[in-house]
Amino acid sequence: MKLVNAPSKTIFYSIDQDISEETVDFIVSELEARRSFRESNLEKLAALIKSDKKPEYGICEHLNIPIQSDLEVLSS
């Protein structure tokens, strides 16, 4: 890193701290869970795009929002 300009009376410091294996394992498992969740949602989105469903129905289904079919709305 190249420092071009720094104000006077500035102190730069760093703290050396080892990360335990337990912390590393926790971070890795959290990242894997997030990736898995995102992959799952991407697969659901791809399936929705490939299906003949209206996008509104797919979105409501994903968000657990109850929807009425067009026939139920028309008969009301």
Residue 74 to residue 76: CA distance in whole angstroms: 6
pLDDT tens per residue, the chain (76 residues)? Answer: 555 566 676 777 667 778 899 999 999 999 999 999 999 999 988 998 898 888 888 888 888 888 876 545 444 4
Residue 14 lies in a domain: no
- In the three-class reduction of DSSP (H, G, I as helix; E, B as strand; rest coil), residue 71 is classed as helix
| Domain span including residue 54 | 27-75
Question: Mind giving me the DSSP string for 19-70?
Answer: PPHHHHHHHHHHHHHHHHHHHHHHHHHHHHHHSSS-HHHHHHHHTT-----H
Residue 13 lies in a domain: no
Residue 42 lies in a domain: yes
Residue 31 lies in a domain: yes
Residue 11 to residue 47: CA distance in whole angstroms: 55
Residue 60 to residue 26: CA distance in whole angstroms: 33
Residue 46 lies in a domain: yes
Residue 19 lies in a domain: no
How many independent structural domains does the chain possess? 1
Residue 1 lies in a domain: no
Residue 58 lies in a domain: yes
